[in-house]
Structure 1
Amino acid sequence: MKETGPIAVHTISVIVDNEAGVLARVIGLFSGRGYNIESLTVSTVDTSHETSRITIVTSGTRMVIEQIKAQLDRLVPVHKVADLTIEGDFVSRDLALVKVAGVGEKRVEALRLAEAFRAQVVDASRDSFVFELTGAANKLDAFVDLMSELGLVEVARTGAVALARGQQGL
C-alpha cells in the first residue's frame, strides 16, 4: 500500500569515505529512483579518517524519506546517515553571492537593505556590488527578491550545510 501522507522537507546528513565516485553513487541512488535533491553540499570533515559529510535537502512522504535513508545506509562507503529534521534541533545555513547593478537611489537602497540583512559587500565598482549573505534559505530568498527590484544581475548559492545542536556528533 503506497503512503500518500504529507510531503515534508528533510535535511539528511551522510558521513562517507572521502574517495572518488562516492558522490556519484549517492546522486545515482536519488536519480535512479526519481527522488529530487533540493540542495546538496559536500566537504571533507576529517582528514585523519578520510571522511566527508554530504548534506542533502530533499522532500517526500515519511515512507519515501525512510526509504531514502535505508538505501543510503546500504551504500558501502557510507558510515552514518542522520535525518536532522526528525532527530532534534539542528543549525542550517546557506551562502549566497548576489550581484546588484545600479546607481543613485537604487544603489543607496541596495546598501541599506544589505545592512538590514547583514550582508557583506565583497566586491564593489562604480555601478555594481557583490554581496555575501549567509543564513536560512528563506532569508536568502527574501534578500534576492528585494534585490530583483533594485537591479539584480545574478546569484550564486550553495546548498545547505547543517549540524545537529548539542554535544553529540555523527
Structure 2
Amino acid sequence: MKTAPSERHTLSILVDNEAGVLARIVGLFSARGYNIDSLTVADVSGDHAVSRITVVTSGPPAVIEQIMAQLDRLVPVHRVLDLTALGPHVEREMALVKVAGVGDKRVEALRLADIFRARPVDTTTQSFVFEISGSTEKVNQFVELMREVGLVEVARTGVVAIARGKEAV
C-alpha cells in the first residue's frame, strides 16, 4: 500500500481573541499527533476581537483536509484557509542571529550579513546580533552559513503569511 507524500501547508485561522483559544488549537494538533512546524498569533481587528493564527504543518493532502475540517468545527474559529492551496501568498519569517568572532571571522560575518540583507541590531567588540527576514529557506541558509563563522544562538519568530491580491481572505 502506497502512502501519499507529505506536503508543507500554511494555514490561516481567524479566531475570537479570547483566553484559551490557542490552547484549544494546539490541543487539537497534539491530540491527533499532527506536528506544528511554525505557529504565530496576532490581533488583526480594530476592536481586538479577532486574531489570526498562522500554522505551518506537513502531511498528506487527506490529513491536511482533516486538520482543516476539525479546526473549522471549533466554536471560536471564524474561518480556516489553506494559503498553500489557495495559491499566491506571501510568507516571511524573522530571526535574531547572534554571532561571535574577531578578525577574519568578524569580517566574514559582516560580508555574509550584507549579502543576505541582514542588519546588525547589536554590536560589541566580540559579537554581533543580526536581524534577518525573508522566506524560511533564506533564514535557514543564513543560519547555516553563520555556523561556519561563530554562531552562538538563534531566536526565530515563526512564519507569518497573507494571501496576495486586493481581496481579504
Q: What letter corresponds to residue 116 of structure 1 in structure 2?
A: I
- The residue that corresponds to 2:151 in the other structure is 152
Cα distance change of structure 1 residues 69 and 3 upon mapping to structure 2, 3 Å threshold: farther
Q: Determine what percentage of the aligned residue pairs are the same residue.
A: 64
- The answer as to 2:74 corresponding to 1:75 is yes
- The answer as to 2:44 corresponding to 1:34 is no
Q: How many residues align?
A: 169
> What displacement does 1:47 show?
3.2
Q: What letter corresponds to residue 152 of structure 1 in structure 2?
A: L
| 3-state SS, counterpart of residue 46 of structure 1 | coil
- The residue that corresponds to 2:160 in the other structure is 161
Partners of 2:147 and 2:117 lie apart in 1 by 18
Quote the RMSD (CA, aligned, Å): 1.2
Q: 1:3·1:63 contact (CA, 8 Å) conserved in 2?
A: no
Partners of 2:2 and 2:41 lie apart in 1 by 31
Q: Post-superposition, which runs of at least 4 consecutive aligned residues in structure 1 deviate over 6 A?
A: none
1:136-151 mapped onto 2 (5 Å cutoff)? 136-151=135-150
Partners of 1:29 and 1:160 lie apart in 2 by 20
Q: What letter corresponds to residue 152 of structure 2 in structure 1?
A: V
For residues 137-169 of structure 1, what are the alpha-carbon distances to aligned partners after superposition, in whole Å with 9 as ceiling and x for unaligned? 010010001100100000000110000000111
> What displacement does 1:43 show?
0.7
For residues 61-110 of structure 1, what are the alpha-carbon distances to aligned partners after superposition, in whole Å with 9 as ceiling and x for unaligned? 01000000000000000001000001110000000000000000100010
Partners of 1:60 and 1:54 lie apart in 2 by 19
- The residue that corresponds to 2:130 in the other structure is 131
| 3-state SS, counterpart of residue 141 of structure 1 | helix
- The answer as to 2:4 corresponding to 1:5 is yes
- The answer as to 2:62 corresponding to 1:63 is yes
